[in-house]
Amino acid sequence: MNNIFDYIIIGGGSAGCVLANRLSEKSQNNVLLIEAGPSDWNPAYEIPLLAGTLFRLKYNNWYYQTEPEKYLNQRKIFWPRGKVLGGSSSINGMVYTVGLSSDYNTWSQLGNNGWGWDDVKSYFKKSQKYLDENKTEINEHGYLPINKPPFSHPIIEAFIESGIDANQGFCHNFNNGKASGVGYYDFTWENGKRKSTSKTFLKDSMNRTNLTILTKTYVKRVLFDGKKCTGIEIYNKNKKNYIYANKEIILSAGTINSPTLLLQSGIGPFKELKKSGIKTIHNLNGVGKNLQDHLLVRIQIASTYSDTLFKYLKWNKISLSILRAYIFKKGLGSIFPLTAGAYLKSTNDKDIPDLQSHFLPGLSTGKIRFPWSKENILNQPGFFANIYQLRPESRGKIILNEKNPFGKPKIYANYLEKENDLICIRNGVKVIRNIFAQKPLFKYFSHEIEPGNLIKTDDQIDYWIRNTAETVYHPVGTCKMGPETDNNSVVDKSLRVIGIKNLRIVDASIMPVIPSCNTNAPTIMIAEKASELILKS
């Protein structure tokens, strides 16, 4: 294999696949895409219903967990991240949300000119396969199909009606920057199949002669000549090799692995690197800092209505649903039934929603690590809604393990350090309970499973939150975009690593503040904008 390329992209996930496609559209660019995980050849990646299983498997997953979380009663929180071509877009729940216009205006106000809502919304559109709601007008530049779910259920409709009765209003479009109220989500699927960034952006570009893709290949460190990035050290089948870039190296390894690779390569806080025995190439304080994530709890209800998903999620019926989805692209297996949800306010005085929810006409298996465990199918009909704070104040960090700096890093999410975060989620529980108490949905009640009818006071709800809250799998922010005057900035507004030549970061780690949404769509947007920045430089 040639060991010199124009561009080397490290990480074949949501951002990396977009970059590989866009940069290789120019035939004069010789592009290398490196993914640590395997190819996504397995048909299981295309079955939407299997989203609830794929994130639990070690084969395609970095399988991280946090250190004991101080404010979650010392619990370690499971953090799955995609380790397969397509990254987390190959194993996630496929929900497509862009957030609120204020999210990106905040990015701009923090010193990142060109990243306001009016600047970035065209890059969301650029990715999308269709230009109109009827799916008839094709976007010649778009690859990603965005579709509503072809699935309805009486309890889902009751949730929508109850939200309206609770004065939350109906939201016709969660993706116009103004999301508020109850409604139906959009998903990255089409014709009964998941559409990850590898199945869309890479589908045609894989055959380009100027694009090389390496899977099952680990990058140990980035190489430098002084403070100029020159190449990388890789391992494939335990064989070491060096590859060099004529133009740029781009880290798209994600919120955990991008800062980790920087630290392992000598870019980061001098004192931390010294403790790990790594020579400092460039002292950059913000690497691994500014970590943010969405933290959820689930309000679960046992139902008197027998026709919930419990009826269909027994192993014999699941197998038939999956088989039908694969062959005919129809039925329950062809969708992920977390189809409805809401943008809500924790208190009425909020100007914009600060809570997000997803609703499902069945009970959650989210805390069950292994899909084959006996407890996987809960033995009663029911439904649930999760609730999480959109813009947490707490900040965590990622650091190297001093005992094994080239092993898995240490993750400190620091959930609920700030009291306002706990108050917001507590109020969110009350908001969901109020929706559930409305007549359309309440008629399906048997009793509340979680938190349970005995959990009533603020102190009781807080205790329950600390003992049960889990991640929504939206970590961002560990290579913060911002001006050099900000001591925690890692990349500038063009996503160049501050103080280093020929090195950029393009993934969710550059987000200065977490957006008010599921984070896959903003990550794809970042890659779309970054590809233009790179090609124009």
Looking at the fold, whether 401 and 436 belong to one and the same domain comes out as no
Residue 130: per-residue pLDDT? 93
C-alpha 59 chain-centroid distance? 19
Last residue of a domain, one of 425, 442, 468: 468
pLDDT at residue 312 in the model: 66
**Same structural domain for residues 420 and 303?**
yes
Q: Is 191 exposed, middle or buried (0-12, 13-18, 19+ CB in 10 A)?
A: exposed
Q: Are 328 and 418 in contact (CB under 8 A)?
A: no
pLDDT by residue, tens only, the chain of 537 residues = 689 999 999 999 999 999 999 999 999 999 999 999 999 999 999 998 888 888 888 889 999 999 999 999 999 999 999 999 999 999 999 999 999 999 999 999 999 999 999 999 999 999 999 988 778 889 999 999 999 888 889 999 999 999 999 999 999 999 999 999 999 999 999 999 999 999 999 998 999 999 999 999 999 999 999 999 999 999 999 999 999 999 999 999 999 999 999 999 999 999 999 999 999 999 999 999 999 999 999 999 999 988 887 766 665 667 777 777 777 777 777 778 889 999 999 999 999 999 999 999 988 876 654 444 444 445 689 999 999 999 999 999 999 999 999 999 999 999 999 999 999 999 999 999 999 999 999 999 999 999 999 999 999 999 999 999 999 999 999 999 999 999 999 999 999 999 999 999 999 999 999 999 999 999 999 999 999 999 999
> Is the same domain home to 348 and 430?
yes
CATH number, domain with residue 83: 3.50.50.60
pTM greater than the 0.75 cutoff = yes
So what's the pLDDT on residue 356?
98
- Per the structure, the count of domains in the chain is 2
If we measure between CA atoms, which residue out of 282, 255, 257, 245 comes closest to residue 267?
282
- Spatial distance between the Cα atoms of 204 and 198, rounded to a whole number of angstroms: 10
Q: Is residue 133 part of a domain?
A: no
Same domain, 351 and 402: no
**How buried is 320 (Cβ within 10 angstroms: 0-12 exposed, 13-18 middle, 19+ buried)?**
middle
Query: Same domain, yes or no, for 48 and 178?
Result: no
Last residue of a domain, one of 468, 493, 508: 468
Query: 301 and 198 in one domain?
Result: no
Would residue 136 count as lying in a domain? no
**What pLDDT is stored for residue 378 in this prediction?**
59
Range of the domain at 371: 150-184+295-389+416-468
* CATH classification of the domain holding 368: 3.30.410.40
Summarised one tens digit per residue, pLDDT across range 445-460 is: 999 999 999 999 999 9
pLDDT tens column, 30-74: 999 999 999 999 999 999 888 888 888 888 999 999 999 999 999
Query: Cβ-count burial of 277 within 10 angstroms (0-12 exposed, 13-18 middle, 19+ buried)?
Result: exposed
Sign of the torsion angle spanned by Cα atoms 10, 12, 16, 21: positive
Identify the pLDDT of residue 320: 76
277 and 423 housed in the same domain: no
**Does 106 map to a domain?**
yes
Closest among 356, 378, 362 to 424, alpha carbons compared: 356
Residues with a known catalytic role: 474
